[in-house]
Amino acid sequence: MVYRFVFILVGLSPFLTWAQNTDVEILDTVYLTDQQLRSFNTGQQQIHISDSIIYSQSFSLTDILQRESHIYFKQNGYGMVSSASFRGTTASQTAVVWNGININSALTGQADFNTLLSANFSSIDIKAGGGSVLYGSGAIGGSVHLNQDLPQRIEEEHELQTGYGSFNTFESRYHYQNQWENFKLKLAYARRQSDNDFDIPEQNRNNLNGQFEMNSIDATVALDLSKHHQLQYFGNYSFGERHFSLLRLSDPKTKFDNADTRNMLAWQSQWKNMQSKLKLAHLTENFTFYDNLDRDTSSSSSVNTNWLQYEFWIEWQKIKMNAVLNYQSTTAEGNQLENAQRDVAGVSFLFQHQLFKNFEYEITLRQDINDDFENPFLMSLGAVYEIQSYWKWRWHASKNYRLPGFNDLFWVNGGNTDLNPEIAYQTEFGTALNFKRLNFSVTGFYNDISDMIRWLPDSNGIWRPENTQAVNTYGVEASTAYKYKLATGQQINLKTQYSYTVSENQATGNQLIYVPFHQANANLAYLNRKWSVDLNWMYNGAVFTRTDNNPNHQVEDYQLFDVQFSWRFPQFLNSKLSLRALNILDLAYEAVDNRPMPGRSFSINLITQF
């Protein structure tokens, strides 16, 4: 049934394309991989991280997002498994979107941010709040967007970035781009490796069996077939090996190998006031977990996903409309999986209207269909009202959902095929003031989540997933940005972010584990023509580690201070040299109970262009 539904819709798409031929305003030529991200976000808070910020920091995606956003990360030790929490939700309720495609693991329903290197992306966007209408299952708390957009015109460029730091940590990246008439090409390779053997003062030993290495090969290609048609290719191959740090000297040594591929071909067509894009993608996940390196015992799983999506855009006066048809087929195999397969088809309709000069609203709708669940009808509403040129109010509400992962459904001797999707109703209301030097934003949010999936022991002591929990999350987020020019070529920048989050189990009234009430970060930067200095501060409040909120079982709050000095040498291959000092106060802290994090560390980084 699902196959028939998809092919009928795709077959009708050419007629939809020519249904409107009124001559109105002309759309600009775009080379965006995720145009919905830029266009349909009315009423939602969004953070944009440019390539200049990405390249000025380490290759760790976790580190960048902790410094630049409200997202809370739970790391099982530095470089180990890293999961994100948006507005008090779980890791599986945060969507990671690569060039417009949701890449959360089909097995766990979440993404491990320490298997993704940030170095090769053109930009990263963070969208808070529900987004299931656009990105499907999992986009309940928010979404992280990894983009490889192409500018309209690129020049030949070679860029080499190398770095070395404490704990024998190496980072290296090579980037090449060029354009030959109608053909554009960007290639990049990045690698990050570390012995990760920092001191653990409380245990009078080093971090043992914590070494890791991660690699990322990326390609972006665009070919202008004619004035109205362009063919694009986006590719990513991520692979690596991580040993998991030992809690005790007597523990067996373990490690995790992963190899993931992402390939997408897109055909974009553009006319006066219309656009269409057909995307074909193939994604794979492959991993092997070694539970005892001395005995060489292991388990492995592999996932294959095929993705088809058609998008049609039209602009008419002050109206934007977008219809999206998508279909994905996923299969998985592994030592602990049985009959893991899923086919999902969906149709979305997005509508945006600037009703008045100072008022804009949007309505988005989505219906998914699959053979295993009764998928809910999803929708979102958003509005922005401009009181003055510098003062705006925004509002957004949405219904979102998450399908159970393959491990939840098909795990041998543990899976539960009777699970229901998680359902969430979310709303937020905020205001923003934008002056010449100062920007300020504050947002209040509320999320009502039902049928949350938890793994619990049954009457026989076997752990199985069940729909048991209802959760309310609510709170407030605030951010400021201030820029002041001291003199020609000199500037001071200040950015601050704060969030207060309550994530409450409705049955017990307790805060969910590993959700801090308070979280904040700040960055103060002085920029000169030839050099700059950045000071970073990050604070994470205490978190409970037991569901009964026992105060004797919690990870204490911590705050970290980092500093970075950078010098530019335009006369020498347009180079930039940076020195970083992280956790400069050498504070002992943990992000997860009994998982120590590094103390003070240093690194040096050089970027050259030729």
Residue linked to tokens 């390779």: 189
Q: What is the pLDDT of residues 375-421, one digit of tens each?
A: 889 999 999 999 999 999 999 999 999 999 998 988 887 888 889 99
| Bridge partner residues of 413 (DSSP) | none
**pTM of this prediction?**
0.90
Q: What is the pLDDT of residues 556-584, one digit of tens each?
A: 999 999 999 999 988 888 899 999 999 99
pLDDT of residue 544: 92
pLDDT of residue 447: 95
- Report whether 511 contacts 517 (CB < 8 A): yes
pLDDT of residue 32: 63
| Bridge partner residues of 92 (DSSP) | none
Share of the chain above pLDDT 70, in %: 94
* Sequence ranges of the domains in the chain: 2-609
Q: What is the pLDDT of residues 255-265, one digit of tens each?
A: 999 999 999 99
Burial of 461 (0-12, 13-18, 19+ CB in 10 A): exposed
- Report whether 218 contacts 235 (CB < 8 A): yes
Instruction: Name which of 51-60, 162-171, 320-329 the model is least confident about.
Output: 51-60
Element (H, E) at 542: none
Q: What is the pLDDT of residues 332-360, one digit of tens each?
A: 998 888 788 999 999 999 999 999 999 99
Q: What is the pLDDT of residues 73-87, one digit of tens each?
A: 999 999 999 999 899
Residues listed for the chain:
610
276 has a pLDDT exceeding 50 = yes
CA dihedral of residues 61, 62, 65, 71 (deg, nearest 10): 140
pLDDT, mean of residues 528-539:
94
CA dihedral of residues 87, 89, 92, 98 (deg, nearest 10): -10
Q: How far apart are CA 563 and CA 533, in angstroms?
A: 7
Residue type, 185: L
Q: Is 91 left (phi over 0), alpha (psi -120 to 50) or beta?
A: alpha
Count other C-beta atoms under 10 Å from residue 233's C-beta: 14
Q: What is the pLDDT of residues 491-526, one digit of tens each?
A: 999 999 999 999 999 989 999 999 999 999 999 999
Q: What is the pLDDT of residues 212-251, one digit of tens each?
A: 999 999 999 999 999 899 999 999 999 999 999 998 888 8
- Report whether 262 contacts 236 (CB < 8 A): yes
pLDDT of residue 496: 96
What band does 27 get if pLDDT is binned at 50, 70 and 90?
A: very low
What separation in angstroms does the CA of 481 have from each of 123, 198, 394, 495, 598?
Answer: 19, 35, 19, 4, 30
Burial of 32 (0-12, 13-18, 19+ CB in 10 A): middle
Q: How far apart are CA 226 and CA 215, in angstroms?
A: 36
Instruction: Look at residue 91 and give its three-state secondary structure.
Output: helix
Look up residue 100 and give its two tokens: 């417009």
pLDDT of residue 25: 34
N- to C-terminal Cα separation, the chain: 55
Domain spanning 2-609: which superfamily? Answer: TonB-dependent receptor, beta-barrel domain (2.40.170.20)
Share of the chain above pLDDT 90, in %: 69
What band does 16 get if pLDDT is binned at 50, 70 and 90?
A: very low
pLDDT, mean of residues 456-470:
77
Look up residue 303 and give its two tokens: 């996932």
